[in-house]
Structure 1
Amino acid sequence: MKTSTIVAATVGVLAVATVGYAIYFDSKRRNDPEFRRKLKKERKRTQKLAAEEAKKLSNKSAQTVEEALASISDEDFPTSMEEREKFCMEQLSAGEALFTQGPTKFGQAAICFYKALKVYPAPAELVMVYQKTIPPEVFTLVMGMLSKDVQSKQEKYYTVFPPEEMNVKVEEKPEGVAADGQKVTRRGLVATKSFGAGQTVYSEAPVISSLEPSLEGKDFCHYCLKQIVDEASKVPCSKCTQVVFCTEDCRKSAAQEFHDILCTKDSEDASSPERSLREYTKTTRNLVPEMLAKFLVKMVHEESLNSGAEYNSFDHMERLRYLEITATAEEEKEMELLKVALGSNIPGIDEFITEERYLLMKGRLLYNLYGVSTSLNVDHDVEPLPERHRSVRDAPITGGGFYRVTSYLMHSCEPNAKIVFSENDHKVSIVTTREVMAGEELLVGYIKNDDLSTESRRLELFTKYRFRCMCPLCETTD
């Protein structure tokens, strides 16, 4: 008898028997109390056994994951792109060879695939490949290792950031109660030692900054935003006439971090990728799209440095609060400009800039953007930026800056600290306005108070930053 005939016959017999038993079972279940009691007891026993087996399997998998991570904890992974590519291919090949040897080699195979994932430039894409090509048991172990590693990295983050020398730490703080009665918390910046009034707690250079478009190419540095007083000291870009720098160091830093890729090179073609983004920025005076372009290019630059830093700029950005933005025609245009401007220089940028990711990145910049004041002339005529930004300064805003640590500073209408650009460049200093004790949260103003009513202040803050101010001034005058 053919195998297919045996299978067909067996299936037929089983089907008939199953139907017959189902009828008998249902009759006994409805009419026999003793049968129902035994059935309930048996169901509990089965559930208990299933739970025990699931726990054993879970513990075994967890133990395997822990052991696997421990086995590579001290391993030095390659840093150069060439070495990483070679290492990745070796691990993928080794992993495939191992899992074909059967279940006893699944653990070792998972370690190889995970090590490949550690050096692959687009891990999310590799995970999708794994899901389709490696055994489910191996994939589960790889994802378990990834999940555990991410969890460990998340838990460790605020123990090493901010750096100890900045005299601050990030702590959870209450922010009221939600509509469902649940307590809402936020992250705030707390002083780790006491300061007298007028003292500088820390200073910080931005991750990225941008000059107000109308000031480009004139008397302000394209990199540090400093006003250039001496015409003779201006340092031009070697490839375009659109921007100037205050020093050769600033020109070199800009070139390395972002300008070599984003430079318009004085193209005569109005539709050239770099010029299109620049023209959009000039027309709208919106800084965020250009800042995101600089941010993405700088990420690639950081990667090329192979500094060995555990957390990169994107790690810092993704932990920050953000505004929820709905995609409009404006965002669609910005995404397209970004993809076109970076496409020829950053492979895979089309896949990376999804609508969801772009809206999140833009929302984070808009929520955490600080207005930068670097003009030496208080009467310098600069129109207010159209995008929301944190600022209470009387001096004109000459640009915007996005900062790792300073983004955690929360608002108060009676702040105990202020934002100062003491060197008249994009580097920010946090200076106390009164005595601040160790353990006390540092607070700055996001908006100009100007004797506004509590209702007006709260409305502006909610409109811009989606929170109801609960500072002492607002609470006592509510």
Structure 2
Amino acid sequence: MNVSVKPAPGDNRSLKNILVAEKDFEAGDIIYKEHPIVAVLDADLQGKGSHCSHCLRHIQKGMAITPESDRLDSVYCSEDCQVKDKVQSQNLLFGLEPVLPPEMDNGLNELTKRDRNQAQETFTAFLKAQNKPSHLLAARIVARQVTIETAKMSANKGGPVVAELPEGSGVGEQYGLSDHIERLRFINANVSDEEIKKLCEVLASALPGLEKSITDERHAILLGKIAYNAIGICYAGGRDDRPVSDERPEDMERTRTPHGTSRQTGCGLYLVSSYLAHSCAPSARPLFNSGTSELHLVATHPIKKGDELTMAYVDVSQHAEETPEEARRRRRVELARGWKFKCECSRCLSETPEGAESELGVEKDESKVEEVLRHTLVGEPSGPPTGLE
């Protein structure tokens, strides 16, 4: 992908990694392309039939493939997207077909259908009531991890399920999706007992014992990783018809996008692009030139081998009605609310009025890595995750 993940210069305590170019690029060059490990449509578009529920492509009227039964009213732009979505997460979370390979099912699916149906109906109602992409993203990540582990047990070495191994696992058998996700940074996130209960019921009804992989702490960390790393998917500058949230600004879900979360079609988790640090004068920009959730990272100016790659997490342009000071404050407030750090990039420092005081509510980068990873890499005492209330 022409990049590598390396420790941030001079950083040996926070374990912050950055993305570094492995060759020279000119402005406009595509540095790499990356598919999301999971992606979801914004809630207001789900069920309208206008976008593919897997790749998020816009679908011309009358051209959507509609499943016979789907709790989320999903539609697809192609049979390939429908099959991939079904295999990766849709069947486990919202379908009633066997979860285990045929040679291992031994009639389990028939015995569990009634309980699965009831659990899925309850979970679907919860997701629609919450109206937040992060909950569905988290559930799909869990489901995809289950699919990968299931594929490893399959005696059949072909078909869409086994195709999950090279596509979803990452680097060989010794380093998989769970290892990637474990290394991502996160911020504190709230998780409700109701969400945990309903997701666990879906997993337990499909395969008894599967629910034991979900705990309050683990799921809170996963939601914190989504909050910190999810990237907004915007086509051609984004849309203007996304409903305005009635939540308080500090409670709104945000995703990394130079266009602003309010203009996205959906969002996804990109494992490599999660290592892109923010800058208000970024060296690269995520584009979606294929009209799908495939991310194209494009250089915004000449880049030399060894340079750090950065992107803008928020809209860093100066709006017509804003002064430079107002634009700077707007983007820094949004960064503090969404990603819990005080931006001190070169642009912010150069635009800071002399004697200006910070009123952002954060004085440092509050993102973190998991305790088990910190213990492994720097030998600090390992303990239970903290700050997850």
Which amino acid in the other structure matches residue 41 of structure 2?
L
Aligned partner (choices 168, 176, 185) of residue 312 of structure 1 = 176
Kept in 1: contact 2:238–2:264 (CA 8 A): no
| Cα distance, 1:377 vs structure 2 | 9.2
3-state SS of 1:209 partner: strand
Aligned partner (choices 412, 417, 435) of residue 302 of structure 2 = 435
Task: Give the number of aligned pairs.
Answer: 301
Structure showing greater radius of gyration is 1
Aligned partner (choices 13, 20, 36) of residue 206 of structure 1 = 36
Aligned partner (choices 247, 254, 257) of residue 388 of structure 1 = 254
Change (3 A) 1:378 1:172: closer
Q: Take 1:222 and 1:259, find their aligned partners in 2: how far apart are those partners?
A: 10
Match of 1:423 in 2: 290
Q: Take 2:55 and 2:173, find their aligned partners in 1: how far apart are those partners?
A: 24
Match of 1:240 in 2: 70
Q: Take 1:322 and 1:473, find their aligned partners in 2: how far apart are those partners?
A: 25
1:302 aligned onto 2:168? no
Match of 2:199 in 1: 338
Aligned partner (choices 323, 327, 350) of residue 211 of structure 2 = 350
Change (3 A) 1:346 1:432: farther
Q: Take 1:373 and 1:280, find their aligned partners in 2: how far apart are those partners?
A: 26
Any residues of structure 2 matched to 1:140-289 within 5 Å, and which? 166-174=1-9, 186-217=16-47, 218-231=49-62, 233-240=63-70, 242-263=73-94, 272-289=118-135
Kept in 1: contact 2:239–2:265 (CA 8 A): no
Change (3 A) 1:364 1:377: closer
Q: Take 1:473 and 1:173, find their aligned partners in 2: how far apart are those partners?
A: 19
Q: Take 1:240 and 1:441, find their aligned partners in 2: how far apart are those partners?
A: 44
Of stretches 192-201 and 293-302 in structure 1, the one that deviates more from structure 2 is 293-302
Q: Take 2:132 and 2:38, find their aligned partners in 1: how far apart are those partners?
A: 15
Kept in 2: contact 1:174–1:183 (CA 8 A): no
Q: Take 2:114 and 2:240, find their aligned partners in 1: how far apart are those partners?
A: 32
Q: Take 1:362 and 1:347, find their aligned partners in 2: how far apart are those partners?
A: 24
3-state SS of 2:232 partner: strand
3-state SS of 1:338 partner: helix
1:449 aligned onto 2:280? no
Q: Which of the pair is proportionally richer in helix?
A: 1
Q: Take 1:403 and 1:384, find their aligned partners in 2: how far apart are those partners?
A: 26
Change (3 A) 1:321 1:183: closer
Which amino acid in the other structure matches residue 94 of structure 2?
C
| Cα distance, 1:293 vs structure 2 | 1.4
Match of 1:461 in 2: 335
- Superposed CA offset, 1:300-349 (max 9, x none): 21123334532221111110110123x4xx52221112112222124323
Identity of aligned residues (%): 29
Change (3 A) 1:377 1:455: closer
3-state SS of 1:235 partner: coil
Which amino acid in the other structure matches residue 82 of structure 2?
R
- Superposed CA offset, 1:208-244 (max 9, x none): 111112212321111111110141x211113327111
Q: Take 1:255 and 1:460, find their aligned partners in 2: how far apart are those partners?
A: 36
Change (3 A) 1:422 1:314: same
Q: Take 2:41 and 2:238, find their aligned partners in 1: how far apart are those partners?
A: 17
Kept in 2: contact 1:239–1:263 (CA 8 A): no
Which amino acid in the other structure matches residue 309 of structure 1?
E
3-state SS of 1:244 partner: coil
Kept in 2: contact 1:390–1:445 (CA 8 A): yes
| Cα distance, 1:264 vs structure 2 | 6.1
| Cα distance, 1:453 vs structure 2 | 4.2
- Superposed CA offset, 1:51-105 (max 9, x none): xxxxxxxxxxxxxxxxxxxxxxxxxxxxxxxxxxxxxxxxxxxxxxxxxxxxxxx
Kept in 2: contact 1:420–1:431 (CA 8 A): yes
Q: Take 1:206 and 1:278, find their aligned partners in 2: how far apart are those partners?
A: 23
Q: TM-score, normalised by structure 2?
A: 0.71
Any residues of structure 2 matched to 1:120-131 within 5 Å, and which? none
Change (3 A) 1:239 1:456: closer
- Superposed CA offset, 1:7-47 (max 9, x none): xxxxxxxxxxxxxxxxxxxxxxxxxxxxxxxxxxxxxxxxx
Q: Take 2:58 and 2:37, find their aligned partners in 1: how far apart are those partners?
A: 20
Aligned partner (choices 182, 187, 193) of residue 323 of structure 1 = 187
Q: TM-score, normalised by structure 1?
A: 0.59
Q: Take 2:222 and 2:150, find their aligned partners in 1: how far apart are those partners?
A: 22
Change (3 A) 1:411 1:236: same
| Cα distance, 1:353 vs structure 2 | 1.1
Q: Take 1:389 and 1:379, find their aligned partners in 2: how far apart are those partners?
A: 15
Which amino acid in the other structure matches residue 21 of structure 2?
A
Which amino acid in the other structure matches residue 87 of structure 2?
Q
Aligned partner (choices 398, 406, 428) of residue 273 of structure 2 = 406
Structure 2's unaligned 5+ residue stretches are 97-112, 153-164, 166-171, 246-251, 319-325, 353-389
Kept in 2: contact 1:317–1:404 (CA 8 A): yes
Change (3 A) 1:379 1:355: closer
